[in-house]
């Protein structure tokens, strides 16, 4: 079996306006990746392209890189050799995690279809058939954020992550407003996206002790593991790493510094599922649990996260699917329903979902 063709299609799906400490946006941008096998089977993947301020990749750069620098190396390869193909790409292209994510996901979908098994089987099997869901609310005024939290809670989601900003004093007001609005039945997380300082974080968390947060995520830059360790030892709730984690080697550093209690694995950062599983395995060896994180995934990458979360052995808290509360269109022939705070994992071959071509065509972008 060989890969015979690689297609890339940039697209942009509208979302409810959202802002974090990096930027604000109103669309989820991605590149659809289609890998064709010689028997006519097609594997679908997605490359995240929605926040170049963080990833440094765009719809244009992802599309051209795959067409010019990836496709020539993988056409003719046996798709069953996922790790080998990803190693070939790694040897020719450094970083570009979103490009690699698109190929990795398409490979997993293709191989799952060829073998007639769900992707989670390729990842080692399923520990759970439904995934507890958390959703973010973006930066705004305290009043608007409180209303956003109520809207998310009304959708049946029981865990809400509040985005923080560079203004810690205003963030304190925002978090108190959200807690007052949703009461104590909803778990709250806080994520300043590395916008805070070490000392400022410790001071701010003391001001928020009465809000009973579930966890704090990456308040300071990813490189500052000494600062993360100091924060972890100074606050009374778990500390989750995100910006600090891109590779399995990063987990080793986190463990050596004692810089986090839990790891947020984002498949756009881990180049997809194969490396994401290696990150999880290293984390497990150090006794650090993991969840799957959100990058406002618009379609196949959303479903890929469900398979990934299903395969995580130690998964003590809800994984993040903010896209379920933001997307204004569904490009898949699959209805994603939140039931009792959870979403079921598709169990068909590959990702177990199909592209809705008619809907998808509305959101194709010409680069």
Smallest Cα–Cα separation from 42: which of 294, 263, 357, 320? 357
End-to-end CA distance of the chain: 32
pTM: 0.97
The DSSP string of 209-250 is GGG--SEEE--S-TT-HHHHHHHHTTSSS-EEESTT-SSHHH
The DSSP string of 246-311 is SSHHHHHHHHHHT--SEEEE-TTTTTSHHHHHHHHHHHHHTT--EEE--S---SHHHHHHHHHHHH
- Positions of CATH 3.20.20.120 in the chain: 121-344
Taking only the tens place, the pLDDT of each residue in 256-291 is: 999 999 999 999 999 999 999 999 999 999 999 999
Taking only the tens place, the pLDDT of each residue in 187-229 is: 999 999 999 999 999 999 999 999 999 999 999 999 999 999 9
Q: Which are the contacts of 19, defined by CB distance < 8 A and separation ≥ 6?
A: 25, 138, 139, 140, 163
Q: Give the separation between CA 340 and CA 202, rounded to whole angstroms.
A: 34
Taken in order 3, 87, 46, 132, the sign of the CA dihedral is: positive
User: In this prediction, what percent of the chain has a pLDDT beyond 70?
Assistant: 100
Angle, helices 225-232 vs 248-257, to 10°: value is 50
Amino acid 367: pLDDT: 76
User: In this prediction, what percent of the chain has a pLDDT beyond 90?
Assistant: 99
Taking only the tens place, the pLDDT of each residue in 145-199 is: 999 999 999 999 999 999 999 999 999 999 999 999 999 999 999 999 999 999 9
Judge whether residue 50 has pLDDT over 90: no
SS3 at position 67: helix
- Positions of CATH 3.30.390.10 in the chain: 3-116+355-363
Taking only the tens place, the pLDDT of each residue in 101-135 is: 999 999 999 999 999 999 999 999 999 999 999 99
Per CATH, the number for 121-344 is 3.20.20.120
Amino acid 8: pLDDT: 98
Max Cα distance, the chain (Å):
61
Taking only the tens place, the pLDDT of each residue in 338-360 is: 999 999 999 999 999 999 999 99
Q: Superfamily for 3-116+355-363?
A: Enolase-like, N-terminal domain (3.30.390.10)
Amino acid 285: pLDDT: 98
């Amino acid at each position: 079996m060989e890969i015979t063709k690689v297609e890339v299609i940039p697209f942009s799906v509208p979302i409810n306006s959202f802002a974090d400490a990096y930027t604000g946006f109103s669309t989820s941008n991605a590149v659809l990746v289609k890998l064709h096998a010689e028997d006519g089977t097609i594997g679908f993947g997605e490359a995240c392209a929605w926040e170049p301020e963080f990833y440094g990749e765009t719809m244009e750069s992802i599309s051209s890189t795959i067409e010019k620098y990836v496709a020539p190396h993988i056409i003719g390869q046996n798709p069953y050799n996922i790790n080998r193909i990803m190693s070939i790409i790694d040897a020719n292209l450094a970083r570009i995690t979103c490009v690699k994510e698109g190929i990795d996901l398409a490979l997993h979908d293709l191989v799952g279809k060829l073998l007639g098994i769900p992707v989670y089987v390729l990842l080692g099997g399923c520990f759970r058939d439904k995934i507890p869901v958390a959703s973010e609310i973006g930066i705004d005024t305290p009043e608007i954020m409180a209303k956003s939290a109520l809207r998310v809670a009304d959708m049946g989601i029981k865990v809400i992550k509040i985005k923080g900003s560079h203004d810690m004093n205003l963030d304190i007001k925002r978090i108190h407003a959200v807690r007052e609005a949703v009461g104590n039945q909803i778990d709250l997380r806080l994520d300043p996206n590395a916008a805070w300082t070490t000392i400022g974080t410790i001071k701010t968390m003391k001001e928020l002790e009465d809000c009973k947060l579930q966890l704090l995520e990456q308040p300071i830059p990813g490189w500052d593991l000494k600062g993360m360790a100091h924060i972890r030892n100074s606050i009374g709730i778990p500390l989750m790493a995100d910006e600090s984690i891109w590779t399995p080697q990063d987990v080793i550093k986190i463990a050596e510094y004692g810089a986090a209690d839990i790891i947020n694995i984002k498949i756009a950062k881990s180049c997809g599922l194969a490396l994401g599983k290696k990150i999880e395995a290293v984390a497990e060896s150090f006794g650090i649990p993991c969840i799957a994180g959100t990058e406002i995934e618009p379609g196949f990458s959303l479903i890929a996260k469900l398979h990934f979360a299903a395969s995580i052995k130690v998964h003590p808290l809800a994984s993040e699917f903010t896209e379920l509360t933001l997307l204004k269109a569904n490009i898949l022939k699959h209805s994603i329903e939140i039931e009792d705070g959870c979403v079921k994992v598709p169990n068909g071959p590959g990702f177990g979902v199909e592209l809705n071509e008619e809907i998808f065509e509305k959101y194709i972008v010409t680069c």
